[in-house]
Amino acid sequence: MKNALLAAVTLFASPLLLPAQYTTSNNNLPKRVITADYNQVSGPLPTIFNECVGAGRANEGLRADWQQQLAYVKKECGFRYIRMHGLLTDDMAVYKEDKNGKPEYNFMYIDALFDYLLSIGIKPFVELGFMPNALASGSKTIFWWRGNVTPPRSYEKWGALIEKLTQHVTERYGAEEVKTWYFEVWNEPNLDGFWAGSQDDYFRLYAHSARAVKKVNAAYRVGGPATAGAAWEPELIAYCHKNKVPIDFISTHTYGVKQGYLDEFGNTGTVLSSDTASISGDVWQSRKEIAASPMPRLELHYTEWSSSYTPADPLHDSYHEATFVLQKLKQSGTAANSMSYWVFTDIFEEPGPRYTPFHGGFGMLTIQGINKPVFYAYQFMNRLGKQQLVNKDPSSWVCKDQQGNLQALVWDYTYTQTDVEVNNQSLYIRDLPAKTKGKLNINIANVPEGKYALELYKVGYRANDAYTTYLDMGKPAGLSKEQVAQIKNINNGKAFHKEIVTVKNKEAFVKELDIRANDVFLLQLNKL
């Protein structure tokens, strides 16, 4: 069984090696040709991209603007779960002890948060952390909002807290609902900033947490280690296997820069990795480690990932982020059960409240709700049909939906760093025009005869590129209502081209476009 699973991993990974198809056009510009056949379906489209999305901390989820933005990205991008830090920190008022040391529990803030999530159709991917101060063994904290990262004074009291929380959500939402959730133990315990204990201390915390969740209902799903850099995966599996500790999934994190894991206040310079297997290499390695373990069928969830781990990286605001995300998700294929982009909004206060509208924040949306290019990457993916057509191009999906409509999502991912490495913080704050990459030819055979509405959407340099619009305004430290409206209007995501086309019997549908470095195109062909 172990060898068979490893062989399957190798088989699934092989599409990463396929080259794009290029020819030379009459004017000597390269022509990239994408061919597909309406009748040749390769299988279901992997949905790892919108299974889950990240958010900063639980208390931010009680804000009206945060909730409005989440409802918007849920509607447009289809996210099913959300994960965030700080569910058990003191600003959520979950735990205290009386003068005799007896625990007192309060879940009113969690109720308000979870009630809202479920009301808009998003389930919690429950991260169990950080430590309530009344239960903490020390005073070490992380972030502006001071999440306590020390082990519990009493692992038994910690376990009781997790059991009480699990029992409470069961009573409030019902066991059948909670069976669909995930419970993840802590966040990045392999980093000193996030966990003041040892690996053994974390395994002990994990065991008490997992057993507490399962004590309420054995069908509930629990996992970890939620590490940075795909660490501790075989070790946790071996620990659980040896000690008969429950585990249903492995979770970990990866980022696409060359060094570091934690930049709490955004002070570290970062350089985007030139490794073509960044992100996806970690994901496939995690899948191989699980396949080779005593528990080869565990789910795999990347509960944080992005191009960069710092909340002050202008790459997050750039049009380059959209193609980076698409390329890495395509490369990751079916290796993970979910890939949770970190995060959906710049309403995110790890380094404290931010003072400028574009500051390199992790979000898909700015604090004022302006769509960044990466938002459109996720929106476009969510518009794809559920069936993939056979397509050897490594930077595109061609799909069809249940109504027989066609969608092609195509991008160019070009690494634009110079030979002399320049920090992202110096590079992506500039106006960065895109160079031509020639012609893009989309050719789909055997499309049923008839009339179709063709719509074309685009992201790239000065195309749904809000940051460049902001540069044109002179980078004001604050934006007026009128300026926000102007940026949103210029970058509104509407189709740049619409037409009615007729497909004749036995003729292929063909569309040719000019493409530049790091452009994204969504083509929708809807039957009339």
Instruction: Name the strand (E) or helix (H) holding 178.
Output: helix 175-178
Active site residue 188: yes
| Cβ within 8 Å of residue 74, ≥6 positions away | 120, 121, 122
Is the bond preceding 324 in cis, omega lying within 30 degrees of 0? no
Which tokens go with 397?
């999906």
CB-based contact 410:386 (threshold 8 Å)? no
CA-closest candidate to residue 512, choices 454, 416, 431, 440? 440
Rounded Cα distance, 295 and 297, in Å: 6
Rounded Cα distance, 203 and 25, in Å: 59
CB-based contact 343:321 (threshold 8 Å)? no
Which tokens go with 325?
């995300």
Tell me the three state secondary structure of residue 276. coil
Q: How close are the terminal C-alpha atoms of the chain, in Å?
A: 49
Active site residue 304: yes
CB-based contact 126:183 (threshold 8 Å)? yes
CB-based contact 452:524 (threshold 8 Å)? no
Q: Strand pairing partners for 54?
A: 83
Which position among 188, 233, 289, 350 bears the catalytic label?
188
DSSP state of 48: T
Which position among 127, 289, 304, 455 bears the catalytic label?
304
Give 341-358 as a DSSP string: ES-SBS---TT-S-SSS-
Annotated active-site positions, please? 188, 304
